[in-house]
Amino acid sequence: MRAWIRQGLVLWIVVGVLLSLHARENPFEPVIQPKEDSFIQKNAKDPFKDLDFKLPSTARILKSITITYQNIDGTIGTKTIPIDESIDWHYPLLLTQKGAILNEDVRYWTIKPFQFFTQGSKFYLYTSSSIVRSFVLPSPYRIVLDIEKRDENPSGSVQLGVKYFTKVAVGVHKDFYRFVITLDGQYPYDITRDGDYYIISVR
């Protein structure tokens, strides 16, 4: 009876190992691959454009406006803007972001062998090498890309001075290049690949 129980346990262990190996196409490949970072915001809302609303006919002085917003980590914050000015209740109040959304030009830079450019909220990095890992660093907020090392030994930095992306710095480590993108604030972002371009999109 005990021998039968031992045989049953061995069979279940073998089945479990086979199932875990089948779950990955190649169990001997490294787990680290180019990936979407953990800062991807699922089910992101459409960008805000504008909102107009009217106050009741008794309103005469607009004392302040309070905005409630959601942070990247899901917490809720508020910001109150004091105004204390007279208003005409006949006319609606307009809250808008339309005028601040500009048609942004494409800008190109090079730190050999890397070429990159920005367009709006997207950063395009041209390289045939693979990203082996990515992560973020705070203060200032930076996206760090560790890229498969080739024969070149690039180093240097470029001040971008565009919306979202302020600086790029490249350095060499033993087994990889470190490509660091400094942002002008905290943003959810993701990393995708299109041919020889990695696209870092912020929101």
The pair of structure tokens assigned to 117 is 């450019």
Establish if 86 belongs to a structural domain: yes
Model pLDDT, residue 116: 92
Q: Examine the domain organization and report whether 147 and 181 are in the same domain.
A: yes
Establish if 26 belongs to a structural domain: no
Q: Examine the domain organization and report whether 92 and 114 are in the same domain.
A: no
Give the domain extent around 82.
50-96
How many domains are there within the chain?
Answer: 2
Establish if 174 belongs to a structural domain: yes
Q: Examine the domain organization and report whether 61 and 121 are in the same domain.
A: no
Q: Examine the domain organization and report whether 135 and 161 are in the same domain.
A: yes
Model pLDDT, residue 97: 63
For the entire predicted model, the pTM comes to 0.53
Q: Examine the domain organization and report whether 163 and 120 are in the same domain.
A: yes
Establish if 179 belongs to a structural domain: yes
Establish if 121 belongs to a structural domain: yes
Q: Examine the domain organization and report whether 160 and 115 are in the same domain.
A: yes
Q: Examine the domain organization and report whether 114 and 194 are in the same domain.
A: yes
Q: What is the pLDDT along the chain (203 residues), one digit of tens a residue?
A: 444 444 444 444 444 444 444 444 433 333 333 333 433 444 556 667 778 888 888 988 999 999 998 887 789 999 899 989 998 888 888 887 655 444 456 778 988 888 899 988 999 999 888 999 999 998 899 999 999 988 777 788 999 989 899 999 999 888 899 999 999 999 989 999 988 889 999 98
Model pLDDT, residue 45: 62
Q: What is the DSSP string of 51-105?
A: EEE---TT--EEEEEEEEEE-TTS-EEEEEEEEEEE--TTSPEEEE-GGG---PP
Tell me the C-alpha distance between 168 and 163, whole Å. 13
CATH assignment at residue 131: 2.60.40.3500
